[in-house]
Chains A and B, each alone.
Chain A
Amino acid sequence: MKRVILAVGFIGLTLIGCSSDDDSTSEVVIDDSIESSAVIENYADLVLANYQAAMVDAEALKVAIDLFVATPTEDNFNAAKEAWLTSRESYGPSEAFRFANGPIDTGDTEEIEGYLNSWPLDEAYIDYVEGDVDAGIINNLADFPTLTKEGLTGENGIGGEENVAIGYHAIEFLLWGQDLTAPSENLAGQRTYTDFVDGGTAANQDRRRAYLAIVADLLTDHLQIIIDEWSGDYRTTFLALDEDEALDNMISSIAELSRSELAIERMAVALQNQDQEDEHSCFSDNTDRDIRLNLAGIVNVYTGVYGSVNGNSLQDLIEEADADLAAELDALLATAVTDVDATLDPFDLAIVDGESSVEGAKVQTAVQALVAFGDKLLEAKVALDID
């Protein structure tokens, strides 16, 4: 269809030179109505508001970590862990802006998503693990004599996608450590704060403190890059996109998150493998929140509501085009929220006995609900004539 429109544009140009009958240009403007642009602008506002909220929490995390690094007590350690959990609450919904050909994972800033949220993470790339006390960049003084922001950023993803050096999950691993307990014990990773105290447990405590401070600092650096894009250059680019393309990006991205990334990669695979290493926040046992927050992000984009942002939405647009489809989508999304909320906390305990167990079956039901919503949402592209 885009081709047809372009062709119209071309012929329009040749016409100007040979005819005064240029009524046609005003007819070409017939479009999806003004509401599309309002939906698109509301999305841009929503995205920025969410990243700004994530920034507030990431800055609080940095303050908590800096305090712990300066004074490594158990209280400060626990406060840092609390701050990490809080930071995930605002970052989690923002994953709905991935897969949208936007700055978080596309263009000049495409690497930022990996810098912030790479997982799964090979623990031994960063620090000691059970069975190898010398593992990781922290304990490798020969190759990494000094730890710097640039150095650690450069190591992220080198030699394999699981070689994660920085981001939320690197911080998570440093704060919680490997989760070596059985899921039935309902315990997260049991790293002790003395790993960060000179003369305490493990080796190279000073480097572990330095590492932790650097990755906390990088988190705010990288979030700021995305905020700058959504309040500046990329916002301009996005609002100038062909409306169909902008809507397509919005719909495709939450459909992809719902039906593939969240349902399959983050839930079904873990259930299939019955392996807590396949869960998103496996060190802190916070995966149940990750899942709920990703879905909350999908709901935010679909309904156009986040904090004080509340404008025209995809939901409104679809309802206008096809009320039956909108009703179906509303029902499917409500079911997905109910089914996801019904899954057990912690997630590793939910999956450990597989699909046939009571808790595993609830995960499977939630997976199917997320897939059903994502699949149906793709039909909206046809209804909106942007396929």
Chain B
Amino acid sequence: MNRISITILCLLVIMVTSCGKDEVIVPLMAEEGEELSGGTTSSSNFSAEAFGFASPDLTFDERVTFGVGNSLFNQSWVTAPASTTARDGLGPFFNARNCSGCHFKDGRGRPPEYDGEFSSGLLLRLGLLQTTENGENIGDPIYGTQFQDNSILSVDKEGTIIITYTPLIESYADGTEISLQVPEYSFTGLSYGGLSAATRISPRVANQMIGLGLLDAIPEATLLSYADPNDADGDGISGKTNMVYDVETGTRVIGRFGWKANQPNIKQQVAAAFSGDLGITSSLFPNENCPDPLDCDDYPNGGTPEIPDDNLENVTFYAASLSVPERRDVDDQNVLEGKELFVSIDCAKCHIPKLETGAYEIEALAHQTIRPYTDMLLHDMGDGLADGLPDFDANGNEWRTPPLWGIGLIETVNGHTNLLHDGRARNIEEAILWHGGEALASKEKFKKLSIEERNKIIQFLNTL
């Protein structure tokens, strides 16, 4: 059938050229394979499970490992000691009882809808403007580097996070006004004393889990090729790598994961989340997080470490091999025009549409042409989004360009459309309007577009 179609196409082209050029409308065409965001590892299920499928070409053994990791990702950890010894050791302080609490269906979290809503997928990092000799942030003197808003029954929880929003009006060139919301964070019911006046707060939303192995498989040389830390080309856009501490090797390497690219690899990202978010110790992070006056050794733990290395590897493999859904409607003319507009206002200078992966330990993810729409680099995003808390080489204004793949399916999977590191943007339009710093010029161009043009860009983004 493929051959037949092509033959007909050729015939038609010949006929068209013979009959009056003026009347030929040349439609925009998608690139070959453009719908394959994750290359041949993409999945084509667009249900609420869309972020939860294994990359299709894993080996049999890899698929079993994926399944075991999936089970660990979803299961609730319980207070030690418990009869389910493989799952105990929660806390004593934690933000969620399981990975899927914040990454629901491997998707994206959002800010709480009411004060004290548990495990919605937003947490607060805490830090002073001081670092350890490894370059890691030193946390609040009492509450450490992360505020945990829940605890096991025998311990008072640290407190409750309060978020208040105030409106901020943005106006388009055509006069349309959009009301953004500016978040402010405070605490109530602090059990162990006030936070230090010097402590800075960095909110972070749980990100969707798709395609992490593909991002890990992008060669360093590719990332460096996009880096322009001193803006040598004078286009107003820098892009720099974050050199972060690798706990296993004890060296500083390029960071790739997290909102500030502050984790060097998926395993360390997973282990850090087990430690900070669930209170589960591992060989990488063997110490429990305890507020200053408490000694966590006073509470029962679930073994040393609480998650053994083999299971940490299983979850790491799972996180690395979740498939990226294919795009929908890549041939739609509005979508194609939206893509052209996206490129024309320089969005694609940081949200790089197409990259190649290199050699990789998961064979199925190696040497793929992927369309993540990111350069994985840090950029100054302006004062509006700044958290004022440096993270290794990232200053208080800098964030990593987040991949845009999957953005149009977040609503399907997670039932919301909140975006940005703290979920303040309630939809794609608001997220665009929050772009500042190096992205300010692009935002200003966006604001000068007509509503039809703006909608085409958003329509395009929703197909990613």
A14 adjacent to B54 (CB under 8 Å): no
Does A258 reach chain B (CB closer than 8 Å)? no
Residues from chain A with Cβ under 8 Å of B104 in the complex = 157, 160-161
The smallest beta-carbon distance between A164 and chain B, in angstroms, is: 11
A260 adjacent to B54 (CB under 8 Å): yes
The smallest beta-carbon distance between A176 and chain B, in angstroms, is: 18
B60 adjacent to A371 (CB under 8 Å): yes
Does B183 reach chain A (CB closer than 8 Å)? no
Give the tally of cross-chain contacts (CB within 8 A). 147
Binds B, one of A41-49, A78-86, A106-114, A211-219: A106-114
Residues 89-125 of B, flagged 1 when their CB comes within 8 A of A and 0 if not, give 0000000111011001100000000000011000000
B82 adjacent to A131 (CB under 8 Å): yes
Give A372 to B432 CA distance when docked, in angstroms.
46
Does B164 reach chain A (CB closer than 8 Å)? no
Closest to A12 in B: B12
Give A17 to B16 CA distance when docked, in angstroms.
10
Does B294 reach chain A (CB closer than 8 Å)? no
Give A18 to B17 CA distance when docked, in angstroms.
11
Does B4 reach chain A (CB closer than 8 Å)? yes
Q: Contacting A111 at CB < 8 Å: which of B19, B48, B84?
A: B48
A10 adjacent to B25 (CB under 8 Å): yes
Residues from chain B with Cβ under 8 Å of A159 in the complex = 96-97, 101, 118-119
A8-B5, A110-B47, A120-B74 given; A260·B68 CB < 8 A: no
B331 adjacent to A6 (CB under 8 Å): yes
Binds B, one of A270-278, A296-304, A338-346: A270-278
Residues from chain A with Cβ under 8 Å of B74 in the complex = 120, 160-162
A130 adjacent to B86 (CB under 8 Å): no
The smallest beta-carbon distance between A235 and chain B, in angstroms, is: 18
Please, how many residues of chain B have a CB less than 8 angstroms from a CB on the other chain?
54
Residues from chain B with Cβ under 8 Å of A316 in the complex = none
B29 adjacent to A3 (CB under 8 Å): yes
A105 adjacent to B48 (CB under 8 Å): yes
The smallest beta-carbon distance between B5 and chain A, in angstroms, is: 5
B48 adjacent to A110 (CB under 8 Å): yes
Does B44 reach chain A (CB closer than 8 Å)? yes
Closest to A119 in B: B74
Complex interface residues of chain B between 54 and 82 (CB less than 8 A to chain A): 54, 60, 63-64, 66-68, 70-71, 74-76, 82
The smallest beta-carbon distance between B249 and chain A, in angstroms, is: 30
A10-B27, A268-B64 given; A5·B5 CB < 8 A: yes
Closest to B6 in A: A4
B47 adjacent to A106 (CB under 8 Å): yes
Closest to A2 in B: B331
Residues from chain A with Cβ under 8 Å of B54 in the complex = 260, 264
Does A265 reach chain B (CB closer than 8 Å)? yes
A122 adjacent to B76 (CB under 8 Å): yes
B60 adjacent to A30 (CB under 8 Å): no
Residues from chain A with Cβ under 8 Å of B44 in the complex = 248, 252
Complex interface residues of chain B between 10 and 25 (CB less than 8 A to chain A): 11-13, 15-16, 19-20, 23-25
Does A184 reach chain B (CB closer than 8 Å)? no
A99-B45, A111-B48, A120-B75 given; A264·B64 CB < 8 A: yes
Residues from chain B with Cβ under 8 Å of A101 in the complex = 45-47
Residues from chain A with Cβ under 8 Å of B259 in the complex = none
Binds B, one of A19-27, A187-195, A201-209: A19-27
Give A186 to B262 CA distance when docked, in angstroms.
50
Residues from chain A with Cβ under 8 Å of B49 in the complex = 99, 105
Q: Contacting B19 at CB < 8 Å: which of A18, A28, A122?
A: A18
A269 adjacent to B64 (CB under 8 Å): yes
Residues from chain A with Cβ under 8 Å of B45 in the complex = 99, 101, 252, 256
Q: Contacting A269 at CB < 8 Å: which of B46, B68, B86?
A: B68
A160 adjacent to B96 (CB under 8 Å): yes
Give A273 to B53 CA distance when docked, in angstroms.
20
Residues 305-327 of A, flagged 1 when their CB comes within 8 A of B and 0 if not, give 00000000000000000000000
The smallest beta-carbon distance between B325 and chain A, in angstroms, is: 11
A14 adjacent to B8 (CB under 8 Å): no
B86 adjacent to A7 (CB under 8 Å): no
A28-B8, A131-B82 given; A18·B23 CB < 8 A: yes
Residues from chain A with Cβ under 8 Å of B71 in the complex = 120, 265, 269, 273, 278
Does B232 reach chain A (CB closer than 8 Å)? no
A14-B24, A160-B76, A160-B97 given; A99·B47 CB < 8 A: yes
Residues from chain B with Cβ under 8 Å of A14 in the complex = 16, 23-25
Give A4 to B5 CA distance when docked, in angstroms.
7
Give A79 to B454 CA distance when docked, in angstroms.
61
A265 adjacent to B70 (CB under 8 Å): yes
Q: Contacting A264 at CB < 8 Å: which of B20, B63, B96, B98?
A: B63
Does B30 reach chain A (CB closer than 8 Å)? yes
Does A32 reach chain B (CB closer than 8 Å)? yes
Q: Which of A5, A162, A252, A269 has the most CB of B within 10 A?
A: A269
Residues from chain B with Cβ under 8 Å of A265 in the complex = 67, 70-71
Does A225 reach chain B (CB closer than 8 Å)? no
B63 adjacent to A260 (CB under 8 Å): yes
Closest to A5 in B: B5
Residues 90-102 of A, flagged 1 when their CB comes within 8 A of B and 0 if not, give 0000000011010
Residues from chain A with Cβ under 8 Å of B4 in the complex = 30
Give A18 to B25 CA distance when docked, in angstroms.
12
Does A34 reach chain B (CB closer than 8 Å)? no
Complex interface residues of chain A between 106 and 143 (CB less than 8 A to chain B): 106, 110-111, 113-114, 120, 122, 130-131
A10-B27, A24-B15, A101-B45 given; A275·B66 CB < 8 A: no
B60 adjacent to A368 (CB under 8 Å): yes
The smallest beta-carbon distance between B303 and chain A, in angstroms, is: 16
A162 adjacent to B98 (CB under 8 Å): yes
A260-B54, A371-B60 given; A268·B2 CB < 8 A: no
Give A278 to B87 CA distance when docked, in angstroms.
12
Q: Contacting B67 at CB < 8 Å: which of A3, A24, A98, A269?
A: A269
A1 adjacent to B64 (CB under 8 Å): no
The smallest beta-carbon distance between B263 and chain A, in angstroms, is: 23
A106 adjacent to B1 (CB under 8 Å): no
Q: Name 12 extra pairs, CB < 8 A, besides A8-B12, A27-B8.
A: A4-B5, A7-B29, A14-B16, A18-B19, A114-B48, A159-B119, A162-B75, A264-B63, A264-B67, A269-B68, A272-B67, A273-B86
Top 6 nearest A-B pairs by Cβ distance?
A: A264-B67, A160-B101, A106-B47, A105-B47, A269-B67, A159-B119
7 residue pairs A–B, Cβ–Cβ below 8 Å: A4-B2, A15-B19, A110-B412, A161-B104, A368-B60, A371-B63, A385-B2
